[in-house]
Structure 1
Amino acid sequence: MGMMDKFKNMFNMSEEEFLDDVDIDDEEPEKEDSRDVRSNFSFNHRSDRDNKVVDIRSSVPAAAAASSKAHVVFKKLDRYEDVGSVADVLNEKRIVILNLETCPNDATVRIIDFLSGVAYANNGDIKRVAGRAYIITPYNVPLTGELLDEVEHSNY
């Protein structure tokens, strides 16, 4: 039983009705010149500028960011409920100097935990620079220096 017989049986058609509905071309298709076929297609060529890789976290172009001055924000928190304002500044890719000297110990731990997560999400860094003072930087601002190493290894 051939393929045609299966189709006929599936639709309960006679052979004549089936062949009337099926177009069978015994003619060979005309061969087109390959040059003509190519001229019928258009190719979208992308320029080199479309292939550049850009950091999606950056809200300003790299050239503008490099030429602009770093913006530093000083914050002093007394309670955990105010930590959202610091997170907003960090999400704007700004440097934050955070003073927690007057903040209770339990709130200080929560604030540092929260802001560590914000810094991590932005590929930033958080370092203690003195007793209860911290610097939080975005990903494009490296922190280096002997003083930072000393404070980090001390028992404040």
Structure 2
Amino acid sequence: MAFDKLANFFGMNDDEYVGEEEDVSDNEVRRNNVVSLQPNNHERSEIRVVEPRRYSDAKEIAKDLLNNRAVLVNLKNVNEEQMRRITDFLTGTVFAINGDIRRVDQNVFLYTPTNFQIDNDTDNFTE
């Protein structure tokens, strides 16, 4: 008898279950979980190709990177000292925005912001 009272107190007695039943409708409104796979035409990825002639051109290249544009930089028109300074400046910029740098050729580099992915699968190409 004490056990029955204790069971009733904790709701373990099935004989006296009183509860409201929920009406389950077959016509329930479901949230639409459809996601469009079409690319957003307003946000195009751009790659700018530049050939800087002096160190001060690195600032304009950095602005492109900060605006989420990749930049292909050909350093053939600068001397060794300017090449080193431009490369150092752009390396710092890319590091700050969590981007990436890839050497394309001897004096050509691809600088990309964080929203670009570079696939470097050159092993599949034959010469």
TM-score bracket relative to the smaller structure:
0.5 to 0.7
Structure 1 unaligned regions, length at least 5: 1-62, 149-156
1:138 corresponds, among 109, 113, 118, to: 113
Q: Matched residue of 2:56: which SS?
A: helix
CA–CA distance in structure 1, aligned partners of residues 95 and 122 of structure 2 = 22
- Compare CA radii of gyration and give the structure with the larger one: 1
CA–CA distance in structure 1, aligned partners of residues 56 and 68 of structure 2 = 21
Answering whether residue 54 of structure 2 is matched by residue 82 of structure 1, we say no
In structure 2, the partner of 1:118 is 93
Q: Matched residue of 1:97: which SS?
A: strand
Aligned-residue CA RMSD (Å): 2.1
AA at the equivalent of 1:75: V
Aligned-residue identity in percent:
30
CA–CA distance in structure 2, aligned partners of residues 129 and 113 of structure 1 = 17
Normalised by the size of structure 2, how large is the TM-score?
A: 0.61
In structure 1, the partner of 2:77 is 102
Q: Matched residue of 1:80: which SS?
A: coil
State the number of aligned residues: 85
* 1:5-154 equivalences in 2 (<5 Å): 67=40, 68-147=43-122
Normalised by the size of structure 1, how large is the TM-score?
A: 0.50
Q: Which has the higher contact order (CA 8 A, sep 6+)?
A: 2
Deviation at 1:146, TM superposition (A): 2.8
AA at the equivalent of 2:72: I
